[in-house]
Structure 1
């Protein structure tokens, strides 16, 4: 018994150490996993815990998963997808426990007071239910991009000029899908200082899409000729605002000035229950080397503090429409999606179960 327990603890610690090492190495090297890669990496580890870790009831499992999630978030607090996947799995455990506890579908009883439980009752078949639901979640992640791109022909009209900023795998796939049924022209803003818009423009050009690459400073001048702006984002905040890569805010402001519709293509696993607060800039933003934006050989600025933030916050009033893998929604509907995806007790993973 003691040997088996020791093996279970060792298994979880090894998985945690391996995942922490992978995430830490990416942070230190500056390598950016796609959000889908990060989500699946975390989900596979959580699945292994549900399968192989010893737990008696849902209460035990919630505690184990939450502790695991806390450690992962500490590696890189700005990577919101990690916390989102953990919260989603916690919601799965809670919902499946209630379904088993009530003996039938709890969809209509989840909001009733008598449905609240301490999750302490042990059920033999709970693990199978949880693993089945996690498998459905993994399929949702796998097909998220396809579900987003399938909406392209409804949202893009023939002959439109579309502007996008930098490089986004989701936006790239969305535009390529639109090209199959529509004749479009794409203006790509290069996205200094990383200039990943160059790669985006090449990829679109290789797909036979008429593409023009422009400087960031040309956004306002060219916006009057654009029919739509389509952006990707790192995260969608709880108020419907965006945590997007630096430069997105100026693009959104220009779009609003010219009354150009702005669409944000993103899967729902990027939706976080977190808000932007001045006290939590460590958890929202990260600073890159200022050498990317200033050549120190040009002069000595001992008294100057040069900041190179990775992300912009784009408020919800600049975002008319989200294109999620579950359909199109306005920022005002985000609160409803949050209640469907996560349990309120899991919004703050630092607290107790």
Structure 2
């Protein structure tokens, strides 16, 4: 088996130079590499962007907590430049948004808690709003269990004291919307007391909350005012850099973490159909092969990878150097360029996995014999859909017709918070000569030929996503998006 270098030449050169040049110069270098597509793998792009952001934050002039908005703006502007260099590589925006989330998280952790007295009027009255609304309508009837303007204390119907929360739950059922208070039809609704004005209502509510807060114990987390701590303008750059380094470690360990779920999803004597040849998918299958014996059916993915695939069928592969599982585990952390099906088949065969190679046209005939379909992915979108190898939508549709589960393995760094409003704009096309050669000049001159290298797969065609943080269904991916990016999603386009 041939194991590629840990990094391709372009990426290795950039990672070496980024630590010795200014952040602006490193940005220009990476922008040029992205425009020329010298860095192809999504993981390698993510590593390059993360390394650049680490250098950029370490040299940024905004280091204090009070200057965090300036740091966020600078990182956002850098991300927009990188996204503009390669708009279809969505992992760039994913990494930039993750770093922006790290900055915001550090700001929130270092900000002092807001005291009770500093809350706006709406915040201080939010819990008692329903009580106050009803007090305005029914304040003329003290026996109904409401708080009168002069009592300052809530009473229950039997004359005893009543808890505020209990009264709110009981009285919320009788809440009268403001737009219904002007109804004059007899018996339709109780009219408000004209002598009980808005100022008296606010005074009664403040008296009610103040008297309640005085009775709370000193250690109670209730409505008692909190003392605001003095603001400390802390240097957050070190904490942000630490968060970026954790993101870099995640990129290094994603294959091993995803592969740890393989024994749960691949069982003995199964036939697994595989589309794509990403290192993550290969590590997933190899980890399962340690304790399971199963058969892999690989699809050649015409027209971009079929030539290398046919070489495997013609004779012994040049990639069949046997390696042991220990050596394989040692090299599994290497983040190489995307594998060809021929390389992936040879790697699986070298550890004893029976591998069958079929053309795309044979997928419908073989699908009924398959237990599950495994795919890699280029990017996962917020609504559960994904962009992956060309031909994946046809395979997923065929699997759905045969009730075969489609499982996708991917790292969280490929999860994008964007919606596919225009899926065609996210797809890439390759060289058209791989479909029809220039020898067919008459056909080439009178037709428009497309060679898509990516395919859009809707979420309803995918059954399960396996990530380095666990498994998710397409319908539950929004929870993972909120965990990774928070509620603030930056627009980098």
For 2:279 and 2:241, the matched residues in 1 are separated by 29
Q: CA RMSD for the aligned pairs?
A: 2.0
Task: Kindly provide the CA deviation profile for residues 281-334 of structure 1, in whole angstroms up to 9, marking residues without a partner as x.
Answer: 44x012211111112313513332111112111011110100010001100111
1:316 has 2:426 as partner: no
1:142-161 superposed matches below 5 A: 142-161=252-271
Q: How far did residue 64 of structure 1 move?
A: 0.7
Q: Any idea what SS the aligned residue of 2:383 has?
A: coil
Which segment is superposed worse, 217-226 or 125-134? 125-134
1:124 has 2:234 as partner: yes
1:149, 1:173 within 8 Å by CA — same for their partners in 2? yes
1:22 has 2:33 as partner: yes
1:85 has 2:228 as partner: no
Alpha carbons of structure 1 residues 138 and 297: separation in structure 2 relative to 1, 3 Å: same
Which segment is superposed worse, 292-301 or 221-230? 292-301
2:427, 2:456 within 8 Å by CA — same for their partners in 1? no
Task: Kindly provide the CA deviation profile for residues 70-120 of structure 1, in whole angstroms up to 9, marking residues without a partner as x.
Answer: 1111111111111100000001101111001137xxxxxxxxx99xxxxxx
Q: Any idea what SS the aligned residue of 1:229 has?
A: strand
1:233-248 superposed matches below 5 A: 233-248=377-392
Query: Number of paired residues?
Result: 321
For 1:80 and 1:122, the matched residues in 2 are separated by 37
Q: Any idea what SS the aligned residue of 1:300 has?
A: helix
Given the alignment, which residue of 335, 338, 341 partners 2:481? Answer: 338
1:260 has 2:270 as partner: no
1:143-292 superposed matches below 5 A: 143-195=253-305, 196-278=340-422, 281-282=424-425, 284-292=426-434
1:152, 1:174 within 8 Å by CA — same for their partners in 2? yes
For 2:483 and 2:268, the matched residues in 1 are separated by 35
For 1:294 and 1:32, the matched residues in 2 are separated by 27
Q: How far did residue 233 of structure 1 move?
A: 0.4
Task: Kindly provide the CA deviation profile for residues 169-214 of structure 1, in whole angstroms up to 9, marking residues without a partner as x.
Answer: 1111100000001001100001111223222212211222100000
Given the alignment, which residue of 458, 469, 476 partners 1:326? Answer: 469
For 2:241 and 2:492, the matched residues in 1 are separated by 21
For 2:280 and 2:376, the matched residues in 1 are separated by 7
1:31-110 superposed matches below 5 A: 31=38, 33-55=40-62, 56=64, 57-102=67-112
Q: Any idea what SS the aligned residue of 2:442 has?
A: coil
For 2:111 and 2:345, the matched residues in 1 are separated by 53
Q: How far did residue 125 of structure 1 move?
A: 3.0
Q: How far did residue 151 of structure 1 move?
A: 0.6
Q: How far did residue 124 of structure 1 move?
A: 2.7
Given the alignment, which residue of 13, 23, 37 partners 1:12? Answer: 23
Q: How far did residue 144 of structure 1 move?
A: 1.2
Q: Any idea what SS the aligned residue of 1:129 has?
A: helix
Q: Give the TM-score taking structure 1 as reference length.
A: 0.86
Q: How far did residue 275 of structure 1 move?
A: 2.0
Q: Any idea what SS the aligned residue of 1:346 has?
A: coil
1:198, 1:213 within 8 Å by CA — same for their partners in 2? no
1:273, 1:347 within 8 Å by CA — same for their partners in 2? no
Partner of 2:137: none
Q: Any idea what SS the aligned residue of 2:47 has?
A: helix
For 1:59 and 1:321, the matched residues in 2 are separated by 38
Q: Flag as ranges the 4+ runs of structure 1 deviating above 4 A.
A: none
1:165, 1:197 within 8 Å by CA — same for their partners in 2? no
For 2:71 and 2:469, the matched residues in 1 are separated by 28
